[in-house]
Structure 1
């Protein structure tokens, strides 16, 4: 009876977020967190969450970290849109005994070298628009560069309950910086993995 109750609870916890995902309108805040990490998981098209058996499990399903039998390191670098956008990921995981695993991960998406011309504009009529007919001009010596950066740092832990069930959790710190502005937030993820048979 207890086993059946546990399976029912796991089923409900798994299905409930799927129903919410259809009702939430997607926007761009934190969108860099949805890109994904690791060649193998990205090649599986999202199916990796179900098996999550290496260090990238910290990103997809933290309970999968419990399957690590030895320390693992993952590094990834991706350049997008003609090398305009840099996407970097690093993670290290260490198993402690046969039941516990801890991991640390960092993720960065950035556009570097954006020109800041706000102080370089000599605006004769004060309208904020560069117009050569009114003797507006740019002072190129005052042009600066800045970066738009999104960061995510994960602290992860997983525990193997038995041969079939493992649980895990992430604590995330998310940071966005653009010019002199920045914001920080926190988040949490929890996950569970149950292997009904060895074939799954």
Structure 2
């Protein structure tokens, strides 16, 4: 029953003039590390999921990174209401970050039930429903392909005092995205743009003291000029722009041999979400994360071993739990070993 209700919310878009929830699958956060921090990743955006939170982060995420993610959306790991995938690659060419990413949400084995609304008596309808056996099914498959371009600019801010200059990093980026949706026999396509920038600096340089941490401030705008989705039902939906703001502060904790990162994020579209997250990393090897997204709590953990990074996240939700696993291979590091 949950699967039917969940799917009907999506399926109605193909036949409705209401664009409020158009492209809703694009709002599902990508990546286990970011989910473990409640989605407050907009100002961090330095791994395989950077394209989703802020395309500017592609330039600072490294090079030769192959990323994969699987998420069981709402329900058990083996029998979720929906499955959510991500596959992507980031490469850096002469200071320009390029990325190609594919995101898919799929709901399988949705039963096709007959329309009994014309049956007048409730008893007859009830008997028909009791004796009906499901024989036909359909699926909902929603894909998005992202092509990202990003560059990091570095310069000094002179405060006017002798020898007092603060080095800053200013990455900027742009996403081109292609959307394909198929619900039963109906299909839809769309094309959109995202843009973002980050402003990063060290508090060590700003305060002229050691171990004061790093600050990152971020803005990203999704679906610039509204992304148009055209359905085979001759309906057209517009995805409204979403403004995303992020703030992050990373502080070394020497007595714990690690670093703590505090993050805040917000996104404004037809509703306003606020996200909070915290991450502790021990020697850049083992990570523990906690977060809050709207009314939902998240936890996560990560392991960084040589050229392999593995992350896990759990989100509690009224529709059911979300379990998410993601992994990254540092291809450039592997090739250097070879």
TM, length-normalised to structure 2: 0.44
Aligned partner of 1:81 in structure 2 is 74
What SS does the corresponding residue of 1:84 show, helix, strand or coil? strand
Residue pairs, 1:62-73, within 5 angstroms:
62-73=55-66
Aligned residue number for residue 160 of structure 1: 152
Closer/same/farther in 2, CA of residues 194 and 151 from structure 1, 3 Å limit: same
Gaps of 5+ in 2: 1-18, 156-168, 204-213, 216-338
Structure 1 spans left out of the alignment, 5+ residues: 1-25
- Render the CA deviation track for 1:143-183: whole Å, top value 9, x for unaligned: 32210122111011111222611111000112221111111
Q: What is the match of residue 41 of structure 1?
A: 34
Range with greater deviation from structure 2 (184-193 or 161-170): 161-170
Task: Please point out which of 169, 190, 198 is paired with 2:195.
Answer: 190
Change (3 A) 1:161 1:129: farther
Q: CA distance change for structure 1 residues 148 and 130 in 2, over 3 Å: closer, same or farther?
A: farther
From 180, 200, 205, the equivalent of 1:175 is: 180
Q: 1:95 aligns with which of 92, 98, 121?
A: 92
Residues 41, 117 of structure 1: alpha-carbon distance in 2 compared, 3 angstrom cutoff: same
Aligned: 1:151 with 2:156 = no
Q: Aligned partners of 1:185 and 1:102: how far apart in 2?
A: 22
Any idea what the Cα deviations from partners look like across 1:32-85, whole Å, max 9, x if unmatched? 212201111112223211021112111110111111332112211111233121
Matched-pair contact (CA < 8 Å) for 2:62–2:90? no
Compare relative contact order (CA 8 Å, sep 6+) and give the higher one, 1 or 2.
2
Length, aligned pairs only: 168
Deviation at 1:131, TM superposition (A): 7.8
SS of equivalent to 1:51: coil
Pair 130,68 (structure 1): closer, same or farther in 2 beyond 3 Å: farther
Q: Is the 8 A contact 1:176 1:184 kept in 2?
A: yes
After superposition, the CA RMSD in angstroms is: 2.8
What TM-score results when the alignment is normalised by the length of structure 1?
Answer: 0.72
Alpha-carbon distance in 1 for matches of 2:91, 2:122: 59
